[in-house]
Amino acid sequence: MRHDASFQEELTSCVSDAVLFDEPLDRHTSMGVGGPADALVSPQSREDLARLISLLRKNKVPYLALGNGTNLLVRDGGYRGVVVSLQGLKHLTWSPSADGAIRVRAEAGVPLAAIVRLCQKESLTGMEFCAGIPGSVGGAVRMNAGAYGREMKDVVAEVTVLNEHQALENRSCRDLTFEYRRLILPDSAVIVSAEFVLYPGNREEIAVRIDEILSLRKKKHPLNLRNAGSIFKNPRSIPAGRLIEEVGLKGKRRGDAMVSELHGNFIVNLGHARTAEIVDLMEEIQVRVRDARDIHLEAEVQIVGEDG
């Protein structure tokens, strides 16, 4: 679609916000790497989103839903299709339910940090484990993000998706299948919002737990350098970071991509890294760990796009 002027015009008229053509995706990913997308669109409402996805499907144009870009690597050649940024979907509400719980409903673009702040302010417990996770609701639910013994599946009550028929569909937690770092959904489904079940708690205890988690993250994770979070999923038997440290790869570099000296399961961008260098490091890690321990490390980050 890159040079299809008529489709570009139709795309521009489909949504209320500006459409960015040939938009570099290093501006939209936490790792700061990635070539240009044919177009980047930011729907500002559910109606915008529904019209956009309908247009893309009708024209058989590939699309990629993007939250905060924190668990994503885009290859250096960019993405042939439309990147749909969900950051404009940021409505957040909460209300008590009959069972004494508090239902928090957040659209896909709401940062997890905003929910953590809400919990601390309103004395709600259940999502303290999200403190310091840099993603947004849509991506966090889709990948079943978790930390410190808790996952999104433990607090999700309902997920609203835009299904293959361009209709909004509410799916209860009873009808959802969560796996380790994954919610089973059709590739074409777009998460629009999620509802979380939280409970009234002690404000001071909630604040202390959030501070503890943030302090642990600061000590263990290279937060001062651009990164995409954990690069590999943890095998059942041993954390991925420990395996990577065992084979002596902390500090290993490819250009400006480096295995963090603070945590083996992070690759950091020292300034001008390319995705190809990051992927090379990932492949070397997989080979070294497989040869040493006969364990295959599965990528946790999503890798999309074309080679440069």
The pLDDT score that the predictor gives to residue 3 is 62
Identify whether residues 209 and 283 lie together within a single domain.
Answer: no
Q: Average pLDDT of the chain?
A: 95
Residues 231 and 150 in one domain: no
Shared domain for 9 and 43, answered yes or no, is yes
Residue 98 shares a structural domain with residue 180? yes
Domain shared by 56 and 127, yes or no: no
pLDDT of residue 56: 95
Sequence-distant (≥ 6) Cβ neighbours of residue 95 within 8 angstroms: 102, 103
The pLDDT value recorded for residue 1 is: 62
pLDDT tens, residue by residue, 54-87: 999 999 999 999 999 999 999 999 999 999 999 9
Residue of 142, 181, 254, 288 marked active site:
181
Note the pTM of the prediction, 2 decimals. 0.92
Residues 105 and 195 in one domain: yes
pLDDT in tens, 218-265: 999 999 999 999 999 999 989 999 999 999 999 999 999 999 999 999
From 85, 118, 142, give the residue that closes a domain: 85
Give the contacts of 183 (CB within 8 A, at least 6 positions apart): 141, 142, 143, 144, 152, 153, 159, 176, 177
Q: Does 79 share its domain with 145?
A: no
User: Residues 69, 134: one domain?
Assistant: no
Q: What is the dihedral of CA 196, 199, 202, 203, to 10 degrees?
A: 30
pLDDT for 269 beyond 90: yes
**Does residue 116 share a domain with residue 12?**
no
CA distance 30 to 88: 18
Q: How much is the average pLDDT of 204-224?
A: 94
Q: What is the mean pLDDT of residues 10-37?
A: 94
102 pLDDT exceeds 90? yes
Q: What is the CATH number of the domain that holds 268?
A: 3.90.78.10
Domain assignment of residue 230, given as a range: 226-304
**Which of 59, 85, 111 marks a domain boundary?**
85
Give the β-pairing of 92-96 and 79-85.
unpaired
User: Could you give the number of structural domains in the chain?
Assistant: 3
**What pLDDT shows up at residue 206?**
97
Least confident of 8-17, 43-52, 81-90, 222-231: 8-17
Among candidate residues 42, 85, 136, 230, the one labeled active-site is 230
Examine the domain organization and report whether 104 and 134 are in the same domain. yes
Determine whether 181 is an active site residue.
yes
Residue 136 among the catalytic residues: no
290 is catalytic: no
Which pLDDT score, from 0 to 100, does residue 24 have?
98
Same domain, 186 and 259: no
Which of 66, 85, 104 finishes a domain? 85
Give CA separation, 152 vs 147, 148, 176, 288, in Å: 9, 12, 12, 32
Query: Are residue 56 and residue 139 in the same domain, yes or no?
Result: no
pLDDT of residue 124: 97
10 Cβ contact partners less than 8 Å away, ≥ 6 residues apart: 55
pLDDT at 17: 85
If one counts every other C-beta atom within 10 angstroms of the C-beta of residue 221, the result is 19
Provide the CATH number for the domain around residue 49.
3.30.43.10
**For position 113, which CATH number holds?**
3.30.465.10
